[in-house]
Amino acid sequence: MRKAKTHLLAGVAAALLAGATLATALHSYPARADTPAPTAGHVARLQAHINRALNGGVLNTVDGAALLDSDVLLKIYVYAYGKRPVDYSAILTADTQAIDPPPPVQPTAAQKTAIDRLLQAARAHPKVLIRAHEIALFPYDAKTGGYTMQNRIFAKLAGKGYFFDNSLYHFVYVDFEPFSVWRTPDPAKRQAIDNAIKDFEQFNLDIVGQVVADGGDSISIKPLTATLKDNVGGTVLTEGGGA
């Protein structure tokens, strides 16, 4: 069954990221009276965000897993594993939660070339790494023998496969239950986790998963391993609760 949607980047990435939303270059369009025209510096910064995500057509990998850390890369994976013609403009236009959609971005020839290279790389790298942030744990539950994650990207909502928002492109988890409760027999680790929870500290989560299917504007990812990290990047638990 499909699981929760990530906010990129929140995420990524939260998630997409788990995870974060990249902004886009704004081209001329009928301006609303209450919307100021973007400055040249603002447009340049947004275009720089896009080019950083494209990375010259080179896919960033960590131990063989593609780092899925932007909405641009999310959409590249959606089109790489889908059966629709590639929409270069859609890939570069922000996957936003705003009610008013952003104006379409017209890709340059260099950006199209980079996207084509990334599409090929994505097909060769079905294994992906998602880095989610702001993960909270409930206090230790003796009934389950562990700590349950408290984060909306893993929530199961009635009738929905992901947390609702207005953006179009998503990824959803398949079978996240094995990673939803974190257990350890190590008293020292338990004490450290208990102290962090008491201090309202949040955790980070590295999820390695496999792209298993496309679903129109989304891809399904089956988690393979997960690593819970503290707020300075130290490993706390791995693989869904292993010590």
3-state DSSP assignment of residue 19: strand
Tens-digit pLDDT profile for residues 44-59: 777 787 888 999 999 9
pLDDT for 175: 78
How far is Cα 205 from Cα 46, in angstroms, rounded to an integer? Answer: 28
- Which two tokens mark 59? 């896919």
pLDDT at position 29 over 60? no
SS3 content of the chain, % helix, strand, coil (to 5): 30, 30, 45
pLDDT for 92: 93
pLDDT for 31: 39
Residue 3 pLDDT class (50, 70, 90 cuts):
very low
Residues facing residue 160 across a β-bridge: 157
Interval 122-127 mean pLDDT = 96
The answer to whether 193 and 236 are in contact (CB under 8 A) is: yes
Query: What is 174-222 written as a DSSP string?
Result: E--GGGSEE----HHHHHHHHHHHHTT--EEEEEEEEEEEE-SSEEEEE
Report residue 91: phi and psi, to 5°: -65, -35
Low-confidence winner among 24-33, 164-173, 209-218 (lowest mean pLDDT) = 24-33
H-helix or E-strand containing 115? helix 109-124
Residue 11 pLDDT class (50, 70, 90 cuts):
very low
Interval 60-83 mean pLDDT = 93
Mean pLDDT of the chain: 77
pLDDT at position 163 over 60? no
